């Protein structure tokens, strides 16, 4: 019996923090092969072998998106919203699936991602970690049980280079809790407190953001009641957990067909 051909993977932003880890993860995965490594025009890494950044591939880093995506199976993109949407449009035209770990999209930009799912397979998730996505499920259960008498706060911490706040993962955690409680996060979220704020509105979900050092990603959702406190926490110590989750998503898309999915679909946690 012949073995299945390796999954042909293209990495966007291959010289970035996540890009380098993704290159390493692909090199460690026998069922995947690096098909292309993309970087922005003008990058000092162009025309160098991807192995100089991570992994062991002799594929050359390129800014030619069309050439890199030709005959590829999937693009993995952890870059910035504008770049991701450019890549998305080309993937849609070429029929290449895409795994999107980029955060910070506007509602209008998210609609463009949804539209692309009519033609290609898309996994769009603010966090690819298996543990974080298990946490989403645990938060849904906790919110339904602790639905009265508990104040809810989301606390997140990331490295000094992160440009969006709160993190996409923190926002998703808030959405999961709000949905479980029948609330609209857009109406009940509180993103900052300063001065004389008055007593806490029990229907709100608060967010606190920490930025500093090289923190990979810490997230805690606190359900604070009278006499007890329940906390669900996830701490990432390495970006490899996100890279392995992204490859799991890429494998999922190989058999999914068109549509927009998230890691709950990938991990079989969808009710």
Which sequence positions are flagged as catalytic?
A: 158, 162
Q: How far apart are CA 38 and CA 166, in angstroms?
A: 28
Instruction: Name the helix (H) or strand (E) containing 131.
Output: helix 130-145
Does the CA dihedral 179-183-184-185 come out positive or negative? negative
- Phi, psi (degrees; rounded to nearest 5) at 233: -125, 140
In whole angstroms, give the CA distance from residue 104 to residue 253: 23
Rounded CA Rg of the chain: 20
Tell which residue, 170, 120, 155, has the closest CA to residue 229.
Answer: 155
Tokens 């979900």 sit on residue: 205
Label residue 73 left, alpha or beta by phi (over 0 means left) and psi (-120 to 50 means alpha): alpha
3-state secondary structure of 34: strand
């Amino acid at each position: 019996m012949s073995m299945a051909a390796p999954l042909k993977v293209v990495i966007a932003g291959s010289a970035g923090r996540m890009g380098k880890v993704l290159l390493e993860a692909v090199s460690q995965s026998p069922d995947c092969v690096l098909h292309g490594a993309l970087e922005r025009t003008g990058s000092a890494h162009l025309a160098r072998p991807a192995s100089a950044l991570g992994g062991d591939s002799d594929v050359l880093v390129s800014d030619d998106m069309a050439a890199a995506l030709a005959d590829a199976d999937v693009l993995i993109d952890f870059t910035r919203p504008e770049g991701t949407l450019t890549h998305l449009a080309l993937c849609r035209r070429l029929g290449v699936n895409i795994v999107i770990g980029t955060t910070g999209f506007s509602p209008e930009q998210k609609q463009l991602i949804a539209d692309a799912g009519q033609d290609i397979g898309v996994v769009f998730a603010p966090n690819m970690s298996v543990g974080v996505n298990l946490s989403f499920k645990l938060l849904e259960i906790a919110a339904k049980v602790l639905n009265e008498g508990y104040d809810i706060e989301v606390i997140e911490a990331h490295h000094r280079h992160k440009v969006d706040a709160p993190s996409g993962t923190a926002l998703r955690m808030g959405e999961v809790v709000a949905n479980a409680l029948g609330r609209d996060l857009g109406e009940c979220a509180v993103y900052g407190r300063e001065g004389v704020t008055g007593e806490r509105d029990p229907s709100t979900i608060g967010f606190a953001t920490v930025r500093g050092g090289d923190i990979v990603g810490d997230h805690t959702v606190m359900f604070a009641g009278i006499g007890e406190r329940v906390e669900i926490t996830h701490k990432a110590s390495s970006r490899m957990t996100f890279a392995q989750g992204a490859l799991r998503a890429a494998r999922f898309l190989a058999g999914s067909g068109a549509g927009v999915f998230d890691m709950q679909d990938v991990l079989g946690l969808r009710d």
